Structure 1
Amino acid sequence: MALKLNYFTYPLILLILLYFFVGAGLQEAIPKSLLLMNTTFLGIVLEALPFVFLGVFMSALIQTFVSEDAVRRSIPKNAYAAIVPAVLVTAIFPVCECAIIPVVRRLMKKGMPLHVGMIFLAGAPTLNPIVFASTYFAFPQAPEIAYARMGIAAVVAALIGLLVYAFFSDRSQLKWSAEELVGQTERADGIGRNGWRTVLFHASDEFFDMGKFLLIGALVASAVQTFFNRSELLALSQNDNLSPLLMMAFGFVLSLCSEADAFVAASFAGTFTTGSLLAFLIYGPILDIKSTIMLFGYFRAKFVIGFMAIVTVIVYTIVLLYQTFFL
């Protein structure tokens, strides 16, 4: 095995080195908006990197030590019967949307059904104790928001799995490279028996493979955050029907980690409705700019577009129902 550095990695490394060595001297000549964009970009990347490392390491462990048969045996054969257990199991993956994508991708390559994988992808960034605790402490005067976030996220994840199965059955939507197909044969011949050495190789390869999507997503998100006029949102902030959509779009654009987004949501508590805050807290961890770019990198485009539509409709509908009956 050899460490893979693709054509996109080299210029990024060069830019990072250039920034550290000569960035201070160039600050006076660079417009303040670009400096702000640079700071935001670095903040997004540095916030996401620990969870990306965790995700690719977990993915490598699954690749090396978990067999296809073990994955298949652990999932109920009935597609509908697998939905509720899948939602419950997501609680043992306390990782954000950046980290869960490589894990789900690897599990699906091991035989996990598509709709179960999407439940993991939708539920894991929110349905875990870390996110519950951060949300609880972010809203000390309204702890019901933390409980509502968990409950709505569980319902949303289950419905996503149900609709993904209804529209796509369990047909594979992953992109497979020729190298990966060859790798399957190699592992069958015994290369995967080298244990932790194999884990490290797989983790490093996957990190550089998915890292480019993280960087592209962080760059786009930082540009939008810098140049987007947030004050335009305030005029519609109290509209029960439009404010959830606005905050869903805001969550998509900001690309925050699910462990930290509650504190940003809390800053809008006096401006936006409770339902719109919940829409922000539920939609953003499932879909944001950086995770969407990763999804397009690893799944077929038609499926990603369909998945985005399913998530958007479900989150918006459930939030409206919650506003109607519980607020």
Structure 2
Amino acid sequence: MIRRFEQSLAEIVGCIILISVIYLVLVNGPLTITRIQLPESLLAFNTIFLSILIESIPFVLIGVFIAGLIQVFVTEEHIIRLIPKNKFMAVGMSCLLGALFPACECGIVPIVKKLVHKGVPIFAGVGFLLTGPLINPIVVASTYMAFGQDVRMAILRMVLGLIIAIIIATIISLFFKGNQLKKSASLLEMNQAIARFPFSLRMKAMLMHSIDEFFEVAKYLIIGAMLAALVQTYVSTNYLAGIGEGIVYSTLIMMGLAYLLSLCSEADAFIGASFHHVFPKTSILGFLIYGPMLDLKNTIMMLAVFKIRFVLFLMIVITFIVFSVLMLVHPWI
């Protein structure tokens, strides 16, 4: 176990050194390599890529740390007591718990994976997955500030997001029964063995699990951040805004923009507010609600954790429900 810990620590240090080298080489001034100046677009891509990573990694670290705590200290009996047996009450409970949990769409994936592995029903996991990044206290506060202390916009995002999450989790409960994890092998025997360890050894096991989980998740985060940076660098948002005429098209454009930009949910309100004079409030809400539920980064991370069929179904349901609810409530917004 000590050797494994040392190897993991070496990998962490190596990643930090690599990111530092990339930053120093490509960001500090207009560098030339073998007298060939790097294109401005490449430098912009590098800056956006690193900013997405720097913005996301702290939340991923929090997520894998909590996942480690769940793995070592939360037993199946705890889960059974926490989640109601009634399906609809379980959906409501998971959505409310997610609403109180400060996590972004990246950090929430390993937490949900661990909860589902521990026995939380997949539909309850989806409720937690959707509300955690969307309506936690930090996101509500940032939305309030981004829109010039507009309480109504913050409340609309929170209430509509909660309603949409409950609808989606209920639909998932009707179509999926198993845990839908790619690796569904039971960890019950290992958990029972760890439960008998002294506290110090359990803490060490928790840290080891968090490190393993981080490296499993981080590679998909890097791929997602790279794709999102490519989109932000080479796809013009002005062009997208230009083709978004009418409430239907503008809402679809803003939802697509939220998916491609893959912004952290704690900061996306400030970007959404910049479109306030271009698109109607309904379209802005589409950006604010859809992005935390589904974006390019967390799609890749979910594909690494859950079965492909489940992820594709979830993506379709999220897109359809978010758009449909916004169209229904548009006359009153």
TM-score for the superposition, normalised by structure 2: 0.90
- 1:127 and 2:171 aligned: no
- 1:205 and 2:212 aligned: yes
Aligned residue in 2 for 1:286 = 293
Offset from partner CA, 1:51-103 (integer Å, 9 cap, x none)? 11110111111111000111022111121221222221212211111111111
Offset from partner CA, 1:258-282 (integer Å, 9 cap, x none)? 1100000010000011000000000
- 1:19 and 2:22 aligned: yes
Flag structure 1 segments of 5+ consecutive residues without an equivalent. none
Q: 1:85 to 1:186 in 2, by over 3 A?
A: closer
- 1:175 and 2:182 aligned: yes
Distance in 1 separating the partners of 2:50 and 2:249: 32
Size of the aligned set, in residue pairs, is 320
Offset from partner CA, 1:128-177 (integer Å, 9 cap, x none)? 11111110111126431111000000001100111111121x21210117
Distance in 1 separating the partners of 2:24 and 2:325: 50
Q: What amino acid sits opposite 2:191 in the alignment? A: R
| Same amino acid, percent of matched pairs | 40
Distance in 1 separating the partners of 2:240 and 2:191: 52
- 1:55 and 2:58 aligned: no
Aligned residue in 2 for 1:160 = 168
Q: 1:111 to 1:136 in 2, by over 3 A?
A: same
Distance in 1 separating the partners of 2:151 and 2:83: 34
Offset from partner CA, 1:179-213 (integer Å, 9 cap, x none)? x65x6533333377322111111111111110001
Q: 1:244 to 1:70 in 2, by over 3 A?
A: same
TM-score for the superposition, normalised by structure 1: 0.91
Distance in 1 separating the partners of 2:195 and 2:53: 33
Match of 2:145 among 121, 137, 142: 137
Q: What amino acid sits opposite 1:272 in the alignment? A: F
Q: What amino acid sits opposite 1:150 in the alignment? A: M
Aligned partners of 2:181 and 2:305 also within 8 Å: yes
Distance in 2 separating the partners of 1:118 and 1:109: 13
Distance in 2 separating the partners of 1:171 and 1:48: 30
Aligned residue in 1 for 2:88 = 80
Aligned partners of 2:45 and 2:233 also within 8 Å: yes
Aligned residue in 2 for 1:233 = 240
- 1:305 and 2:312 aligned: yes
Distance in 2 separating the partners of 1:125 and 1:208: 21
Aligned residue in 2 for 1:64 = 72
Q: What amino acid sits opposite 1:188 in the alignment? A: Q
Flag structure 2 segments of 5+ consecutive residues without an equivalent. none
- 1:277 and 2:280 aligned: no
Q: What amino acid sits opposite 1:54 in the alignment? A: I
Distance in 1 separating the partners of 2:277 and 2:89: 42
Distance in 1 separating the partners of 2:179 and 2:149: 45
Aligned residue in 2 for 1:189 = 193
Q: What amino acid sits opposite 1:319 in the alignment? A: L
SS at match of 1:189: helix
Offset from partner CA, 1:100-125 (integer Å, 9 cap, x none)? 11111100000000000000000111
